A and B are shown apart, each in its own frame.
Chain A
Amino acid sequence: MEFDTITAISTPMGEGAIAIVRLSGDEAFAIADRIYKGPQGKRLIDATSHTIHYGHLVQPKTEDIVEEVMISVMRGPKTFTREDVVEINCHGGIVSVNRVLQLVLSQGARLAEPGEFTKRAFLNGRIDLSQAEAVMDLIRAKTDKAMNVALGQMEGRLSQLIRKLRQEILETLAQVEVNIDYPEYDDVEEMTHRMFLEKASLVKVELEKLLRTSQQGKILRDGLSTVIIGRPNVGKSSLLNSLVQENKAIVTDIPGTTRDVIEEYVNVRGVPLRLLDTAGIRETEDIVERIGVERSRAVLKEADLILLVLNYADNLTIEDEKLFEAVSGMDVIVIVNKTDLPKKINLNRVKELTGEHRLVTTSLLEDQGVDELEEAIASLFFAGTLETGDLTYVSNSRHIALLGQALKSVEDAVWAIESGTPVDLVQIDFTKAWELLGEIIGDSVHEGLINQLFSQFCLGK
């Protein structure tokens, strides 16, 4: 759809201290305001044009803070696209900027097609004639390329899954339609709220499942954020070095802007780990002491995987027990290091605390147990649905965004059913979901419903 509000990351990926997520369109201010929390309840919509504002981005429902940002607001027509434009300046680095993008997408912006900002600038009379041809070439070339990429991605299981889901939705839609267009047709059960709810819930579960695989896809792309914790001198630094040495770091040193976090990427048996807070480990060897328990909890919150290191040659301390407490409910691998020294630790107590988690004993100094640790990391990640070699996951941002919007439409439908809205109105949201899924596989033809109607039912008086 033309002229809706579009968004994209406008800075190159993975470089620089700051990244910008740009929004353009009628809804740009409204969308930004839904996720912006400024000082003293400031609203961007009230802001003077061409000004910049400090604040936080929050999850609209929970008010959880997502990012610390500076936001530039520019009202059309004095903008690049001549539309209302909002630019969110956030921390550089793939993860934070993607999170901002996802947040903006979840509020109804559409991911811009390649070259779309330029296209809009042109359509709104911003660019001169000499650039027109170039813009057209760009649209054609990029679209073809994007299509090829999309098609490539769409081969196989994922497209089948989406097709199956669409067919489910379509059959439900047809059943509602047949009741409307042929009210006296006696062969189909009237689509009741209960039946509709059943169908919608089913689709919702499937979409959520797909989106979860997209999380896994994202992890494969962005890395499994991993934190090494432990008391001073247990060997965190050695562990870090050992992981980095053994496995070539793929990306190094992306400094954040306000946090003193340095990230390192390592690839452990196909699982990319993004090691957080390595600077802390390197400098002081003592994360807990340096940044305090509160701060370390914040770091822990961001982590997908925790490596908790204990000292084989020392007694368990209160601090150790507190660390266990702090990571309860998370994915943890417990490493008992320094087996080259005489044992002092109470291993039974360790096992008790470790519970269901993996426990590995190492001597990093003598390079013992590292294989076992890597094995533990890999098996943790590839457990469950991802065990097979045929990894089907949604990784394309556009697809994730569409899936997310489709899920939202289905949730709207479920909400509408639960509040007793007539089925032909619930239908509106359900149809939307069907169309959005169609966009993923490049098929949004409306005629589909009418064909379904006549092949599914014997109609006509």
Chain B
Amino acid sequence: MQYEAGNYDVIVIGAGHAGSEAGLAAARVGAKTLMITINLDMVAFMPCNPSVGGPAKGIVVREIDALGGEMGKNIDKTHIQMRMLNTGKGPAVRALRAQADKTLYQQEMKNTIENEPNLTLIQGMVERLIIEDDVCKGVITQTGAVYHAKTVVITTGTFLRGEIILGELKYSSGPNNQQPSIRLSEHLEEIGFDLVRFKTGTPPRINSHSIDYSKTEIQPGDDVPRAFSYETTKFITDQLPCWLTYTNEGTHQIIDENLHRSPMYSGMIKGTGPRYCPSIEDKVVRFNDKPRHQIFLEPEGRNTQEVYVQGLSTSLPEDVQRRLLASIPGLEKAELMRAGYAIEYDAIVPTQLWPTLETKKVKNLYTAGQINGTSGYEEAAGQGLMAGINAGLKALEKEELILSRSDAYIGVLIDDLVTKGTSEPYRLLTSRAEYRLLLRHDNADLRLTEIGHAIGMIKEDRYQRFLLKKAAVEEEKERLQTLFIKPTQQVQQVIVEHGGSELKDGIRAADLLKRPEMSYEQIQQLAPSEILLDTEVKEQVEIQIKYEGYIEKSLQQVDRLKKMENKKIPENIDYDAISGLATEARHKLKQVHPLSVAQASRISGVNPADVSILLVYLEQGKIARIPQN
């Protein structure tokens, strides 16, 4: 029996990391939003590693925050440890990583969602979409509830036809033995979406009491209080450490002897797994000359003894997993609480999406997260945020938002997916960003707060604070650029103390700061500012001045990118009518339907000559459209 259950602007299917951001974002841009999840106790659940952030990913979390999303605030309130990574390197690659208290993280996110105006959270399993004339108009659940909406976002993670594989055992399941979603996957195929089968995995969990920590190395958090969110003012100081141990020849021998029982090698697993998150059996086989692999022991929270064995991701049978653990120093007596497993699931081929994350086939339908072929909580959350924003804006009949590759890692992520597709679960890496010097951890707010404010995601008081910071940065930069430092004895002394060579002449403060041995602190010592400046402002001034040359180079490249992005390709372009295109390029262009020439030029198989021809064709079209006489 079906029944009418309600009308909404936006419906979000799923409440994982993508779904949570999507629901909150849609509600925050002003759309009346419904979130439907299979299990209310699993909102923002972390089925794999208990951590948020890291290189590239940590910058995504900052970007989510600058656009008014939740992930940063949520982890700031619920982490057990935080560290700044890559502090010894340049500013572009610094990134925060937090260890999460998984349970607190979930509870906190659920609480935020429940308290968000405009947002309704319910339990239910969606089986069908309501589609009329290729436009999505709502969803129907297992219990017959019919919900209507202007736009729908699917964020079903690994639930789509999920199958858990553990040794010789294989059964239908979502992550962590949740109910999988089988009907929806079949329905998507019926509609005509191309699906691929991906695989990912997770390691065993063990009881902390059974670990001999004396045989491991401690990995503490930073002493300095840290936060992802620009709004966080309360810092957690009571941190829990992680621990490091290693596999050894004995461990590898057990794996070798049991490879025939590994579903990876017996052929039971058909899905494509990620290269950057290989199982331990994969590592041992592919790099058999490596005598040991790192194993990080990470607590799953403050109120649990479960410890995540990072580095031991595996789908070997349970008895082999026990023996593997026992072979590792510190884990000889480890008590296995949950076995590791691999999970296969359906994902849609992401080139079927517009850069707004709306599907090309069905209007008003958006997808985000693991269903789009990515892996990782942060990648999911970033897409969820954008899909939520766009589904909300579209429902409200406002212009949608597309971030460029030069705006944000989120822009890089989505552009890669919809332009190039992916042949394995996609993970962000800093090397995927060609403008990574511009996409820094420290300037996410400067890059994105204005955009967030314009679409209603950033509240007025925060925006005003942001404007003050921005002005302070500009003022201080201006001061250092005009201030002249004379080669007095004190000045020379400070310079020499820090390993520099003496000044021959007076120098602008900004130019002195550019010397490798100088830092903002020393400049301040020589030429103190009359105003007391925030640490964040000082950091910004230092980075912007010190790396000006490189930043300038990147900005010039971005300028050229923008020119190409401004060459729009009309949606109804007929690639068959363009005579000069190479066959492969024509095929790829028809498949991807790029929105701009910049996007077209990034499609593999479209070479520079094809791009030139496309440009000429578009220009020709422009002339043809001008009426004669």
Chain A residues within 8 Å of B, Cβ to Cβ: 1-4, 119, 122-123, 125, 128-129, 132-133, 135-137, 139-140, 143-144, 177, 179-187, 190, 419-425, 428, 445-447, 449-450, 453-454, 458-461
Contacts and interface: CB of A to CB of B under 8 A. Distances in A.
Given A129-B624, A136-B617, A428 B612 contact: no
B13 to A, nearest CB: 30
Given A424-B90, A460-B277, A184 B294 contact: yes
Contacts of B56: 181
B516 A446 contact: no
Contacts of A186: 294
Contacts of A137: 580
A385 B90 CA distance: 42
B604 A183 contact: no
Interface string B273-290: 011111000010011001
B212 interface: no
A416 B546 CA distance: 13
Given A136-B579, A422-B91, A459-B276, 4 more contacts: A2-B612, A129-B620, A179-B89, A449-B431
B90 A423 contact: yes
B90 A425 contact: yes
B623 A2 contact: no
Interface residues of B, number: 58
A27 to B, nearest CB: 9
A454 B275 contact: yes
Contacts of B293: 458
Interface of B: 49, 55-56, 85-86, 88-93, 274-278, 283, 286-287, 290, 293-294, 296, 310-311, 313, 429-432, 434, 437, 516-517, 547, 550, 553-554, 560, 563-564, 579-580, 597, 604, 608-609, 611-613, 615-617, 619-620, 622-624
22 contacts: A2-B611, A2-B612, A3-B560, A125-B623, A132-B620, A136-B580, A136-B616, A139-B580, A139-B609, A140-B613, A144-B609, A177-B430, A180-B86, A180-B89, A180-B430, A181-B56, A420-B517, A424-B89, A424-B93, A458-B290, A460-B313, A461-B296
Give the 7 A-B CB pairs with smallest separation, nearest first.
A422-B90, A420-B516, A458-B287, A143-B609, A132-B620, A454-B275, A136-B580
A183 B86 contact: yes
Contact of A140 (B290, B294, B550, B609): B609
Contacts of A419: 516
A316 to B, nearest CB: 52
B431 A450 contact: yes
Contacts of B624: 129
Nearest to B424: A454
Contacts of B90: 421-425
A128 B617 CA distance: 12
A422 B88 CA distance: 8
Contacts of B91: 422
A137 B579 CA distance: 9
Contacts of A3: 560, 563-564
Contacts of A119: 612, 615-616
A119 B620 CA distance: 12
Contacts of B597: 2
Contacts of A461: 49, 277, 294, 296, 310-311
A1 B554 CA distance: 14
Q: Residue among A125, A136, A182 with the most chain B CB within 10 A?
A: A136
Contact of A128 (B274, B277, B294, B623): B623
Nearest to B90: A422
B429 A181 contact: yes
A123 B616 contact: yes
B431 A454 contact: no
A422 B89 contact: yes
A425 B92 contact: yes
B198 to A, nearest CB: 16
Among B310, B547, B608, max chain A CB count under 10 A is at B608
B311 A123 contact: no
A420 B286 CA distance: 37
A21 to B, nearest CB: 23
Nearest to A185: B294
Contacts of A421: 90, 516
Contacts of B430: 177, 180-181
Contacts of B564: 2-3
Contacts of B92: 424-425
B337 to A, nearest CB: 20
A460 B278 contact: yes
Name the residue in A125, A140, A144, A445 with the highest tally of chain B Cβ atoms < 10 Å from its Cβ.
Answer: A140
A446 B278 CA distance: 22
Contacts of A183: 55, 85-86
B276 A460 contact: yes
A1 B601 CA distance: 10
Contacts of B604: 445, 447
B541 to A, nearest CB: 18
Contacts of A123: 615-616, 619
A140 to B, nearest CB: 5
A319 to B, nearest CB: 48
A130 to B, nearest CB: 10
**Which of A2, A125, A190, A459 is most buried by chain B, counting CB atoms within 10 A of its CB?**
A2
Nearest to B617: A136
Given A129-B620, A420-B517, A460-B283, A187 B290 contact: yes
A226 to B, nearest CB: 41
Contacts of B579: 133, 136
Contacts of A140: 580, 609, 613
Most buried by B among A119, A177, A182, A428: A428
B547 to A, nearest CB: 7
Given A140-B613, A428-B553, A454 B86 contact: no
